[in-house]
Amino acid sequence: MKKFLLHPVTITTIVITLILLLPYVVPTKATPHWSDDELREEALNSNMLPTPKTYKELLKVVDNPKNRLSRDKIALGKKLFFDTRLSRDKSLNCASCHILNEGGDDNRPTAIGFAGRANPHHLNSPTVLNAALAKYEFWDGRAKDVEEQAGGPVQAPFEMNMTPKEVEERLNKDSALKAEFKKVFKKDKIVFGDVQKAIGAYERTLLTRGSYDEFLDGNNSAISASAKRGMTLFISKGCKGCHTGMSVGGQTIQKFPLRYYLSDYVGLLLNPKLSIKDNPYPFKNLGNYYGKEEMQLFRVPILRNITKTAPYFHNGSVKDIKEAVRIMSKYQLGDEFNKEQIKDVVEFLKTLEGKIVEY
């Protein structure tokens, strides 16, 4: 009797197909039904913590041992945050790309800086609100805190287009400003590093509180039943694994996307000149940006006020928050949410909207 043997290529194809089909055939875990108290406990145990209410509590959370907060330093940093002298043509300031009453970003798919220059990688501006709670700054996480981050846009040629020396020369001409710096930093001259520290100090106070925080504080009626279902999905399905901490994000660098599907390869089969590297995302690869070390590693976005910071993802290719949730559930969790689940999760995300606390 003649033996039937499969060709190695056929075997490989079958194995790859089965792997790609796994997300569709493996049963998903049922969503739990938690009481309000149980939901709150799950959230708090997952390090989803409420924002401080008082200045004293704020210091415990965001004070930097290398840049101790003081009211004078914060006030100085606020002045610099809105100071257009930090840009070459004096038309831009930090608030130009980080509009505080618009979610802390500029609501553009790509940041626009000096002389109308767009970010060369089509990157948009991450929110400055609650950024001090993050362990990484910028899309590739290259800055460790808001003080280090504050120096980047000032020097970038496609943003504010200044050098540290030029900033120092310009600001030292202002005798009143020099006096304020001397009071805070005990130096006769303004130096760029202290400009960063002052702005960073102010940004450390830009934390927001909303109905989400009220619920975590014990007010069961602060959020709707739909938002509670969304919060349950967020925790039980694994979103909180990356979007964690008081900031609900910004704590880790993660691969995106984690998963690919058979449908993702259809276009590649029709165009053999392309590879998955050419367009690795489930949306158009505007800017050809591949994250940290070009390994598709990105700082996990902060989700507080996320409903106010469209468009989404690093290159602003997705305008609709519902579509962003669908993409994340499919490509990061491997469990694509249905329309009702997406609606509930968006309702939960709305509870993360908040106002800046006046510390």
Higher-confidence residue of 249 and 276: namely 249
Average pLDDT over residues 187-200: 98
Query: At 64, phi and psi to the nearest 5?
Result: -105, 120
- Three-state DSSP at 62 gives helix
Model pLDDT, residue 30: 81
* 5/75: higher pLDDT: 75
Domain limits, CATH 1.10.760.10, in the chain: 28-51+209-356, 55-203
Report the pLDDT value the prediction gives residue 117, as an integer from 0 to 100: 96
d(CA 330, CA 183): 53
pLDDT at 264: 74
Confidence of residue 25 (pLDDT cuts 50, 70, 90): low
Q: Of 159, 168, 180, 203, which is the active-site residue?
A: 159
Q: Which residues pair with 208 in a beta bridge?
A: 356
Task: Give the phi and the psi of residue 308 in degrees, each rounded to 5.
Answer: -105, 5
Model confidence at 354: pLDDT above 70: yes
Structural contact between residues 206 and 132, judged by C-beta atoms closer than 8 angstroms:
yes
Asked if residue 275 has pLDDT above 80, the reply is no
Identify whether 257 is preceded by a cis peptide bond (ω within 30 of 0). Answer: yes
pLDDT score recorded for residue 215? 98
Residue 71, pLDDT score: 97
pLDDT exceeds 60 at position 82 = yes
Q: Is the pLDDT of residue 158 over 70?
A: yes
Q: How high is the pLDDT of residue 286?
A: 94
Cβ(239)–Cβ(230) below 8 Å: no
| pLDDT at residue 8 tops 60 | yes
End-to-end CA distance of the chain: 85
At residue 136's C-alpha, the angle toward residues 313 and 92, to 5°, is 70
Cβ burial, residue 349 (10 Å; 0-12/13-18/19+): buried
Among 337, 145, 109, 136, smallest CA distance to 254 is for: 136
Chain mean pLDDT for the chain:
93
Looking at residue 64, the DSSP 8-state letter turns out to be B
Instruction: Please state the rounded mean pLDDT for residues 159-164.
Output: 98
pLDDT at 104 over 90: yes
Alpha helices in 26-139 (DSSP H): 36-45, 55-62, 71-81, 94-97
Q: What is the pLDDT of residue 19?
A: 60
Q: Where are the alpha helices (DSSP H) in 186-284?
A: 192-203, 211-216, 225-236, 266-270
Contact 196, 148 (CB under 8 A): yes
Confidence of residue 77 (pLDDT cuts 50, 70, 90): very high
Stretch 285-310: mean pLDDT: 97
> Looking at the predicted structure, is the pLDDT value of residue 18 above 80?
no
The pLDDT of residue 28: 58
Write the CATH number of the domain with boundaries 55-203: 1.10.760.10
Closest to 352 (Cα-Cα) out of 299, 302, 305: 305
Contact 356, 104 (CB under 8 A): no
Q: Would you place residue 4 in the very low, low, confident or very high pLDDT band (cuts 50, 70, 90)?
A: low
38 included as an active-site residue: no
Q: Domain spanning 28-51+209-356: which CATH class is it, in words?
A: mainly alpha
Q: pTM (2 decimals)? A: 0.90
CA distances to 35, 215, 230, 337 from 223, rounded to whole Å, are 13, 7, 11, 21
pLDDT band with cut points at 50, 70 and 90 for residue 175: very high
Question: Tokens at residue 131, please?
Answer: 């950024």
User: Is the pLDDT confidence value at 127 over 90?
Assistant: yes
Say what percent of the chain tops pLDDT 70: 89
Q: Smallest Cα–Cα separation from 48: which of 184, 174, 213, 210?
A: 213
Instruction: State the DSSP code for 117.
Output: P
Q: Which residue has the tokens 């989400």?
A: 212
Task: Choose the most confident range, by mean pLDDT, from 4-18, 124-138, 258-272.
Answer: 124-138
**Among 28-42, 201-215, 274-288, 341-355, where is mean pLDDT lowest?**
274-288
List of E strands, 68-125: none
